[in-house]
Amino acid sequence: YRIAPFRLPLLAKCEHGVEVRLLHMTGTCHAIEMRLSEHSVFFGDVVVGSQATKPVRLHNFGDLGAKFRFEIGSKYGKIFSVTPSEGFVRPQEDINLMVAFHPTHERIMEFKRADKHARKSKLDPKDMNIGITVR
């Protein structure tokens, strides 16, 4: 979003409530606001050992260019990826991204073990960030 140029008076309050206008300040604010086109991505059924991809847009609503970099934590880095993972978005422009889900048998087994541990520990299911169904 753009922040409109502004012009504001600078006032001094003197004794007895008298205000004296000292000067006017003018300026322009520059801001960066970046948003993804999607709040969540649904991949549907994905066969272990294959890959599903979904397009997502990164939009810079601000009036300054901005660098970006996606850092996926080690827990999910081997099954999710974003390309390009880093780059630069000019003001008021979009970058097309591709989010990929590529499950492997080893990672699925790790998630199943973690889910089993969570059930034994009676952890709150809302604390689980990801749901995977394996048939």
* 63 Cβ contact partners less than 8 Å away, ≥ 6 residues apart: 2, 3, 30, 31, 91, 92
Which of 130 and 44 is assigned the larger pLDDT? Answer: 44
Residue 97, CA atoms < 13 Å, CB-side half-sphere: 26
Q: pLDDT (tens digit, 9 = 90+) per residue, 10-69?
A: 888 888 888 888 888 888 777 788 899 988 888 888 888 999 999 999 999 888 898 999
Looking at residue 37, what is its pLDDT?
A: 92
**pLDDT at residue 98 greater than cutoff 90:** yes
- Record the pTM: 0.64
